[in-house]
């Protein structure tokens, strides 16, 4: 049986793919939510952009 079969797994919050524990995540495994940097960057694309309809400037409505 392969040695990596006993590693814990999680499901990526963005793409839904399962991923396994990695040594570099040993101290933060409970906080890991994404399988890759690509998914981490794609987690919420609208959160980094401001919505012009919700600007705090003067309203065009009377």
Contact 25, 34 (CB under 8 A): no
Looking at the chain, the whole-number percentage of residues with pLDDT higher than 90 is: 56
Q: Are 15 and 39 in contact (CB under 8 A)?
A: yes
E strands, 1-62, are 9-11, 18-20
Sign of CA dihedral 38, 39, 40, 41: positive
Assigned domain for 55 exists: no
How large is the average pLDDT for residues 30-39? Answer: 95
Q: How many Cα atoms within 13 Å fall on the side-chain side of residue 50?
A: 6
- pLDDT band, very low/low/confident/very high, at 8 (cuts 50, 70, 90): very high
DSSP, res 37 = H
Range of the domain at 30: 3-42
- Min mean pLDDT across 2-11, 15-24, 40-49, 51-60 is at 51-60
What pLDDT does residue 15 have? 95
Domain count, the chain: 1
The reported pTM is 0.61
């Amino acid at each position: 049986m392969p040695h990596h079969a006993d590693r814990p797994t999680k499901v990526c919050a963005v793409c839904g793919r399962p991923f396994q524990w990695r040594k570099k995540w040993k101290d933060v495994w409970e906080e890991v939510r994404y399988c890759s940097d690509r998914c981490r960057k794609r987690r919420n694309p609208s959160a980094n952009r401001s919505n012009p309809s919700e600007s705090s400037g003067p309203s065009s409505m009377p």
